[in-house]
Structure formats: C-alpha cells, structure tokens
Structure 1
Amino acid sequence: MSTANDLSREDITRRVISVIEDHKEVTDKVSLQSSTSSLDLDSLSTIGIIMAIEDEFSLDIPDVEVEQLRTIEQLIDYISAATQAL
C-alpha cells in the first residue's frame, strides 16, 4: 500500500468516491460536484463518511474544516493538500 504522500489526485478521488458510495445511505451517483445536500445525507451520515475517509487516509480533519468543505471536490483538494504535507 502506498504511503499517504505517494497518492496521486486520481488515487485520492477514486478512494474518496469509493468510501462515499460504499456508505449505506448514499444511493445516488457521486460526482466531484456532489455535496452532502445533493446526496440527501443527514448530519450523522455525513459524520460517518468523514470518519471513514479519515480512517482511509490516516488523517484527522478538524470539524471547522469539515464545515467549510461543501463539495466532494473540495474534500479531495483538502485531502490532497494534507497528504502532501505529511
């Protein structure tokens, strides 16, 4: 398995979308422009997905940052920057 800072943006995108699509409450197709509201996720489901993504990438995303991440693309950008900083 690659270390976090060896991941390409494509790898991050694939893994983030996979984690989200694997979540039982997500029934729609996930795109980079998807948001929690467009995926009809409540706050508890969103927290579960964020925790799964944190586990997937061995990251801790502060709550204040999570509140600013509106789309899947913004989440991927955050993860990409955070893994490069490791």
Structure 2
Amino acid sequence: MQALALPVNVKIAGVILVFVYVALVPALIPGNVGPFHGAVILGMSLFQIPLAQSLSFAIFLHGIVTVFPLVISALILFWERWKKP
C-alpha cells in the first residue's frame, strides 16, 4: 500500500485483507470478478480512501492474490512430469 502512496497503517491493511479473503472465493469463480473488487473498495472506503485509488489497488491486489497461487499450483502439479528423465 505504501508503494501506491495510500495513507494506511497496519490496522487498515488487516481490515482490508479480511475483506479481500472473504471475497476471494467468488473472485476465483470464472466470470465473477466483481465481488472481489467490490470488497476491496468497500474495505478501503471505510477509511475514506478515494475510489480511484481503491480501484487501482483492487486490480493490483487481484493479480497478486490470484496469479501467484495459480502459478505455484501449476508448478507443483507439473513437478513430477518435469523431474522424470
């Protein structure tokens, strides 16, 4: 959040993280991205973070929260195939 120059502290980050992980399940369902972004924006609006910054952070966070676990899962899934000579 500091990279985006958002005026937040650890408590705010924790609250936003709770909102994000509650909304993560529907966000991983294909075609259901809106609830994730909505939850992030709602969480940040509790602390008067402007909408434009909240949406930017929601999009960035969606990439982090979903892409890395998917890549790691794929690596684990195919690890056995790559190990075989």
Fold-level similarity (TM above 0.5): no
Give the TM-score of the pair, scaled to structure 1: 0.35
Name the larger-Rg structure: 2
Identify, as 1 or 2, the structure richer in helix.
2
The structure with higher relative contact order (CA 8 Å, sep 6+) is 1
